[in-house]
Amino acid sequence: MADRLVCRDCHRVQPSEAEESCEICGSTSLTEDWAGYVVIAHPETSEIAEEMEVTESGQYALKVR
């Protein structure tokens, strides 16, 4: 997982074949420097999603540098 890119803006973990921008928010600020990992399946009922301000289901990094 360490070779995956993460969006600095929304913390979404990008697929290996990701382009140069985030597939969710469109940001071009991607990094390989991140830690922690959470999968959010139902953001509408998730307290973690609410805390992270996540509205789309998917894979997210907890800490992005």
CATH number of the domain residue 38 falls in = 2.20.28.90
Within a domain: residue 1? no
43: left (phi over 0), alpha (psi -120 to 50) or beta: alpha
Within a domain: residue 11? yes
Q: Which residues are annotated as a binding site for Zn(2+)?
A: 7, 10, 22, 25
Within a domain: residue 58? yes
Domain that holds residue 35: 6-64
Within a domain: residue 50? yes
Q: Check residue 2 and give its pLDDT.
A: 56
Contacts with 62 (C-beta within 8 Å, 6 or more apart), sequence order? 11, 35, 36, 37, 38
Instruction: Give me the phi and psi of 40, to 5 degrees please.
Output: -110, 115
**DSSP state, residue 63:** E
Structural domain total, the chain: 1
For 19-38, how does the pLDDT look when each residue is reduced to its tens digit (9 = 90+)?
789 988 999 999 999 999 99
Q: Which residues are annotated as a binding site?
A: 7, 10, 22, 25
Report the percent of the chain where pLDDT is more than 70: 94
pLDDT band at 1 (very low <50, low <70, confident <90, very high): low
Q: Check residue 3 and give its pLDDT.
A: 75
Within a domain: residue 14? yes
